[in-house]
Amino acid sequence: MSVKEIFTAAYGAEPAGVWAAPGRVNLIGEHTDYNDGFVLPFALPQRTLAAAGPSPDDRWHVCSTLIPEPVSFGTTAPGEVTGWGAYVAGVVWALQEAGFEVPTARIAIDSDVPLGSGLSSSAALESAVLTALIDLGGLDLPLEKRPALAQRAENVYVGAPTGIMDQSASIRCQDGKALFLDCRSYEVEQIPFDLAAEGLAILVINSNAPHQHVDGEYGARRKSCEEAAALLGVPALRDVATADLPAALERLGDDVLVRRTRHIVTENQRVLDTVALLRDGRVREVGPLLTASHASMRDDFEITVAQVDVAVEASLAAGAYGARMTGGGFGGCVLALVDADRADATAAAVAGAYAERGFTAPTSWVAVAGPGAARI
Ligand code: ADP
Ligand code: MG
């Protein structure tokens, strides 16, 4: 069934339109967003669809093919709607709080973004709903201001303390481009990212590892970064220059804060180095930066698990130019930069390494940079 048909089956009417917002993979720049730093995501072909139309009453009605329980709510505040509906109610709330008159609506959601795999299904859901409501209501909210509003829905209404990257990627990415985002100024540069032309591919490997302690560990990393920035007397770790890192680490002393800080400062530099190489068309040379990013996440930021470490090692052993975990960590996905004609063999090598260790089998596919949120 198409999402239009799902809408009609649920509400007995035709939707006014269908909107789509993608999931994303982050090429490089992990946990840098909430440190006011740099990230470089691109949009996945996997996306969340929202068929939407006016509501016959003064409430919003939402259903999803992925969740049995539909949700219905009136004018709302954080804490009222919980579970998956909070991502939708949060968007309505954030729009209203920003002063917009949000039209009540009926919405049907369908998605092929895997939930909870670090590919940002939450931001895809928020961005699809946000874009639909903006268009339905004719609201005047420019593209560059939309991610912060969707982030507010997730931070305040859902209660997940995530950075600005996911919503920025889902809303601002463009077809065939990677999004170089400054998470302090929200300035972006669209970096051409056509790997096929170079005979290359990004293989995404979903570790299918169960996520554990994600929220608590994420909050703990955020807190350490804030603590380190405060001790160093800077607004955010973005303000520690690479050249000043050794002195900063000496000042911090504390082993955990040293390692967290070293990850963020070196990771920001790796994003800048990656962007410089991509601008020069030197794509293969990005590989070692990806692998260094992974080592930094594994050893300094301590956010990887055995399944993602094994996927990275197996990809490299199979000849990948570089590989790293992508997303917040504690499971989720790995990406590997490979020769396009080696993608299948790399996926098979990772599957083999998983089988040897008795891990749940991974799922792999080649990801091509797609467009951001829009009416379709
Ligand atoms: P990620 O964003 O990495 O996929 P999150 O834990 O941030 O993982 O978000 C996943 C949650 O978002 C799901 O548990 C669900 O509550 C909600 N969600 C995302 N997509 C959908 C969808 N298509 N239908 C219903 N809920 C969804
Ligand atoms: Mg998410």
Q: Which residues surround ligand 2, an ion (CB under 5 A)?
A: 120, 122
Cβ of residue 109 lying under 6 Å from some atom of ligand 1: yes
What pLDDT shows up at residue 292? Answer: 98
pLDDT above 90 covers a percentage of the chain that reads 96
Residue 211 scores a pLDDT above 80: no
CA 328 to ligand 1: nearest atom: 3
Angle at 122 between CA 121 and CA 124, to 5 degrees: 60
Q: How confident is the model at residue 329 (pLDDT cuts 50, 70, 90)?
A: very high
**Residues with catalytic annotation?**
166
Question: Per residue in 21-41, pLDDT tens?
Answer: 999 999 999 999 999 999 999
- CA-wise closest residue to 201 among 321, 41, 28: 321
What pLDDT shows up at residue 213? Answer: 63
Cβ of residue 111 lying under 6 Å from some atom of ligand 1: yes
Give 91 Cα–ligand 2 centroid separation in angstroms. 14
The Cα 253–Cα 37 span in angstroms is 23
What pLDDT shows up at residue 216? Answer: 86
Whether 169 and 24 have beta carbons less than 8 Å apart is answered as: yes
Give 244 Cα–ligand 1 centroid separation in angstroms. 39
Protein residue with its CA nearest to atom 6 in ligand 1: 116
| Domain definitions of the chain by residue range | 3-193, 196-367
The CATH number of domain 3-193 is 3.30.230.10: yes
The CATH number of domain 196-367 is 3.30.70.890: yes
Residue 119 scores a pLDDT above 70: yes
Residue 223 scores a pLDDT above 70: yes
Q: What is the mean pLDDT of residues 359-364?
A: 98
Q: Of the residues 84, 110, 155, which should be mutated to test ligand 1's pocket, given the most ligand atoms within 8 Å of the CB? A: 84
What pLDDT shows up at residue 252? Answer: 97
Q: What is the mean pLDDT of residues 113-121?
A: 92
Indicate if the alpha-carbon torsion angle 154, 155, 158, 159 is positive or negative.
positive
ipTM: 0.99
